[in-house]
A and B are shown apart, each in its own frame.
Chain A
Amino acid sequence: MYLRLKDNDTIAAIATPLGEGGISVIRISGAAAFDVADRVFVGKGSLSESPSHSAHFGRAVDASGKYVDEVVAVTFRAPNSYTCENVVELSCHGGYLVTQKLLQVILDAGARAAEPGEFTKRAFLNGRLDLSQAEAVADLIHSQSEAAYRSSMRQLSGDLSREIKAIRDELLNLASLLELELDFSEEDVVFANRIALDDRMSDAVAALEKLLLTYEVGRVYREGVRVTIAGKPNAGKSSLLNSILGEGRAIVSDKPGTTRDTITESISIGGVLFRFTDTAGLRETADEIEREGVERAEKEAEKGDVVLLVADYGEKYYNGTIAEYARLSDICAKVGVKFVRVWNKIDLYPAEAPRIAAEGREFYVSALKGDGIDFLKNGLKELALGKEVNESTVVVTNSRHRDALARSKRSLGLALDTLRSRKSGEFVALDLRAGLNALGEITGEITTDDVLNNIFSKFCIGK
């Protein structure tokens, strides 16, 4: 296999054991570690300008500015770090979901997922570890690579592998067409025209894009869906949660403000893990506190995937809306959180029946009687997975696979730009080759020989 020569780039990985720990640390190492961290970290100043060995409190956000978690960033400037490179360590609140999400955001910000043992390897190569550790480090890299490879192969389902292979074959054909024109211009063969190349390359980009989108679905299966329940005190948030869970876990009373702390409960709906967070109800004694409740919901909402705004159907019946939460749906739209209204207590209004409305974004239920709860559960599942997903859909689940697919797509984008600027084939081939190599990391090797083999098998070459 062709070695990807990449020891100068910036890598990131979760440095603490996976699981629901108290705190998780994500380590970023490489020349651009500070730049990458600054794209994710929002604090009092930029990390790039901070001294080595300093700690900074702030928020981690994704590319769209959406809140991910509160973090502490610790800076280490080369060569005074574990790897002797620039290093930023971000400590987040731990837990599998948040940590994975943060890592993804960091990778999206320009880091590459570290290979197994890569930090240690860099530390070693940069002279950080002493000589006697050579064997141990070598063994470590070997065993971790094996494990990662096996797990990656396990996750490469037959269907996915077939689909990636189909894209790769198509790219190989395109590369062959380009090379044919360059290396065999004297031959009596038909060369591809630019429009056809453009179309086929665009199709490949679209196919990659589709696969990348399924990672989101894969993420849903793997990481679950975070649902924040918001709403006024006594709108029936806890009852609704109980009704969904099917047992009386949350403390329920008919007095407003019974839920004193944030309650998190999980349930599997159709194989997807939903984690409901009931925003702490505050005793409604003053308008001010009510406002604080709304603000809290707004803040909590950003952390979730879905916000369920629970309201007494009476509000709709009498007012048509819930004024206090008008801003919440705007916030959700801005940060990409799905917003769902649940009109509760319809059992008090004989004319109303359990139903779904507004294309799956409104539900009419009675938490008390359990009416419409099935609609809601199904609706949540559809919302999380998308309607078109069914059992047979190919889903990308491995972050390494996603990383390679994303890089491949990026390279193809560059190749398309070059193609459209009417430059000669060798310039297009440069990025097309990079795109192929990225896919090759998933399916196996890519060498020049593949392209030449393809040319010789498809075209009659040779004076």
Chain B
Amino acid sequence: MNTISYDVIVVGAGHAGIEAALAASRMGCSVLLMTMDIAAIGRMSCNPAIGGTAKGNLVREIDALGGEMAKIADVTGIQFRMLNKSKGPAVWSPRAQNDREGYSAEARRRVEAQESLHIMQDMVTEVLATDGHISGVDTGTGTRIACKALVVSSGTFLNGVMHTGLKKSIGGRFNEPPAVGLTASLEKLGFVSARLKTGTPPRVDRRSIDFSKVEEQPGDPDPQPFSFQTKEVTRNQVSCFLTYTNKDTHALLRTGFDESPMFTGLIKGIGPRYCPSIEDKIVRFADKERHQIFLEPEGRDTDVIYVNGFSTSLPANVQYEAMKTVPGLENVEMLRPGYAVEYDFFPPHQVKLTLETHLVKGLFFAGQINGTSGYEEAAGQGLVAGINAAIGVRGGDPLVLKRSEAYIGVLIDDLVNKGTSEPYRMFTSRAEYRLMLRQDNADRRLMEYGYRFGLIPADVHGSMRKKEERIRTLSEYVSRKSVPPSAVNSYLESIGSTPLNENEKLSQLLKRQDVRLSELLRLEFFTTDSLPLDAANQKDVVEQVEIETKYEGYIVRQQEEIERFDKYEAMEIPEGFDFQRVKSLSTEAVEKLTKVAPSSIGQASRISGVSPADISVLMVYLHG
């Protein structure tokens, strides 16, 4: 009998799976995307939003690398905001509310339109490996499919159990069955699994909300798209609404505590501290009299409202009664209760920085299976896993993004070296080189990779190079130009900045807090000067030059740090290196190093339990 065969199989068609499948097929592989429900491709399981602090940066990076998330989000966005706009550019983060159904449909459309990418609705029950190499999968319908690489991005479906009150049902998502058999199969191959928990709030009917009692939160007047390839966002935006819980709400919620699967110990998995359930919040912060509730529309053409901030696994009737105490929700109709879901994950020290597993060559893990939370974190991993699966099949150097070049690098490096005990979410504070990893320069950081892998079209890459050239030209002008007082003093006075007494370098002037390059360049002195106009007329070029000039001192310092950091990253540790051979290492270090199997000295230094002395010893040994 002929078995079906693909270069790459991707298990799970969520945000990680989509990116993995699209990237691998675009890189020339034959790809099979397996999902338990074709209608659920790209489904937003939780809040109908993409981006947010640090997460928005991830989306921009995915886009620069040639991923799909940003484009889908741009097409299906119903409200766009740039968060942290009042702060420095390094922490600006784009966020959008999205049309839940629209997002899924758009994702599916794109996956279906991709050549050499097949979709199959089936469940993988067995992962097959021969001599430490992946060889294929068996499915629930009894089919055996061969492959050269396998990406498992199964989300919350591995032995998923959902809880609402003391009622327990198996499944990975509302009304969707769990994936059974895969965990056991992976364990048979030697992998170790553990349990995590996450939750989601109830959904309510828009028509039952009294909007006179809630606060409107509109989108930005000038919405910025996620993708470097989207010219602009033109469609009308919709608003979200803010309201608050109160003492009555908390009192009502407490009546359900004896039926809480969390407090009664029914749930064993560890949930995310940054996304606690409402019952968790009122217990841990008992003196807080109110909590924010965001009412987020799930789309333009639907009445479903997502009650953000009210994640809960209390009994459905308690959820309902408690919501009714919240201003604006007095007559609320609950469409479906919130729930908590427990699922298997595989502690991520079991994967390399390429996301390939240590145990089985050609087997990759991406997304929640690695202990992360969030669509963006999943998509970033999916993209890296898909690229590296394709490289594994077709040959070439794998993609490992450094902490100094991408949040995706920080994400995977953290997972592999530190592990995680709760669903891992990205924050800007996790990135030590935060000032460099901005959303505005993701193209400059990463598009070169995307182009090299064939995921970024030549014309897009070409305009990035052109932009880079213009930035250089304008930067030179800015650092060279000396500005007389007469040219800028009326502008400086208009923004309340001290006027000049003598000529000053434009670059120096720009370091002032409120001085904007875009505004300066509009002054007559500059427009009539030898200003490189084709650069000065590009908003994104001016923005880059302004940021790099304004924060030069800090950026230069970070760059120096990065150079030092890169030196250690470049010191390779050979694959399969036996740390026990190095007798001068501490016992703890040998154990941790063996477990994580770092690929560089830099990586080794970030593993907890490995001391600077251990690193010195290792460096000396490896040079020997």
Q: Which residues of A contact B (CB under 8 A)?
A: 1-8, 115-118, 121, 124-125, 131-135, 137-139, 141-142, 145-146, 149, 179, 181-188, 421-427, 429-430, 433, 445, 447-449, 451-452, 456, 460-463
Contacts and interface: CB of A to CB of B under 8 A. Distances in A.
A132 B550 CA distance: 51
Interface stretch (B159-167, B178-186, B257-265, B607-615): B607-615
Given A5-B568, A426-B434, A460-B281, A182 B276 contact: no
Contact of A427 (B88, B615, B624): B88
A8 B87 CA distance: 33
Given A141-B620, A460-B284, A4 B584 contact: no
Interface stretch (B120-128, B133-141, B423-431, B478-486): B423-431
Contact of A135 (B513, B611, B613, B624): B624
Given A115-B612, A461-B273, A8 B564 contact: yes
B434 A188 contact: no
A349 B99 CA distance: 103
Contacts of A451: 429
B610 A182 contact: no
B88 A424 contact: yes
Contacts of A1: 608, 610-612
A138 B584 contact: yes
Nearest to B610: A1
Given A125-B620, A131-B624, A185-B87, 7 more contacts: A3-B615, A5-B565, A138-B616, A181-B87, A185-B84, A425-B87, A425-B88
Interface string B413-455: 0000010000000011110101100000000000000000000
Nearest to A1: B611
Contact of A124 (B88, B311, B428, B620): B620
Interface in B550-573: 551, 554, 557-558, 561, 564-565, 567-568
12 contacts: A3-B568, A6-B564, A137-B620, A183-B429, A185-B84, A186-B83, A423-B88, A447-B608, A448-B432, A460-B288, A463-B275, A463-B292
Contacts of A186: 52-53, 83
B231 interface: no
A115 B613 CA distance: 9
A426 to B, nearest CB: 5
Contacts, number: 165
Nearest to A9: B564
B291 A460 contact: yes
B87 A424 contact: yes
A188 B309 CA distance: 11
- Contact-residue size bin, chain B (C-beta under 8 Å from the other chain): 35 or more
A429 B428 CA distance: 11
A461 B291 CA distance: 10
B281 A462 contact: yes
Given A2-B605, A7-B564, A185 B308 contact: no
A134 B565 contact: no
Given A5-B565, A124-B623, A141-B620, A146 B281 contact: no
Contacts of B465: none
Contacts of B87: 181-182, 185, 424-426
Contact of B53 (A184, A425, A448, A462): A184
A430 B292 contact: no
Nearest to B512: A421
A125 B619 contact: yes
B91 interface: yes
Nearest to B293: A463
A23 to B, nearest CB: 29
Given A5-B565, A138-B617, A426 B90 contact: yes
A439 to B, nearest CB: 16
A124 B624 CA distance: 9
B621 A138 contact: yes
A421 B513 contact: yes
B6 interface: no
Nearest to A175: B429
B428 A183 contact: yes
A118 to B, nearest CB: 8
Contacts of A121: 616, 619-620
Nearest to A139: B584
B274 A456 contact: yes
Nearest to B308: A463
Contacts of A427: 88, 435, 551, 554
B554 A3 contact: no
A190 B52 CA distance: 20
Contacts of A138: 582-584, 616-617, 620-621
B80 interface: no
Contacts of B90: 426
A141 B428 contact: no
A109 B269 CA distance: 54
Interface string B18-47: 000000000000000000000000000001
Contacts of B619: 121, 125
Contacts of A115: 612, 616
B567 A7 contact: yes
B617 A182 contact: no
Contacts of B554: 427, 430
A134 B429 contact: no
Nearest to B604: A3
Interface string B520-555: 000000000000000000000000000000010010
B157 to A, nearest CB: 24
A134 B616 contact: no
Contact of B624 (A134, A449, A462): A134
A412 B624 CA distance: 40
B213 to A, nearest CB: 17
A145 B564 CA distance: 22
B345 interface: no
A462 B274 contact: yes
B91 A426 contact: yes
B402 to A, nearest CB: 13
Contacts of B461: none
A403 B119 CA distance: 61
B435 A426 contact: yes
B606 interface: yes
Contacts of A141: 584, 613, 616-617, 620
A125 B623 contact: yes
B510 to A, nearest CB: 14
A8 to B, nearest CB: 6
B613 A142 contact: yes
A186 B616 CA distance: 43
B503 to A, nearest CB: 23
**Top 10 nearest A-B pairs by Cβ distance?**
A134-B624, A3-B605, A424-B88, A145-B613, A142-B584, A460-B285, A424-B87, A456-B273, A5-B564, A179-B429
Contacts of A449: 418
A145 B616 contact: yes
A456 B281 CA distance: 11
B83 A461 contact: no
A324 B288 CA distance: 76
Contacts of B96: none
B294 interface: yes
A2 B273 contact: no
A172 to B, nearest CB: 12
Given A134-B623, A142-B584, A460-B291, A182 B605 contact: no
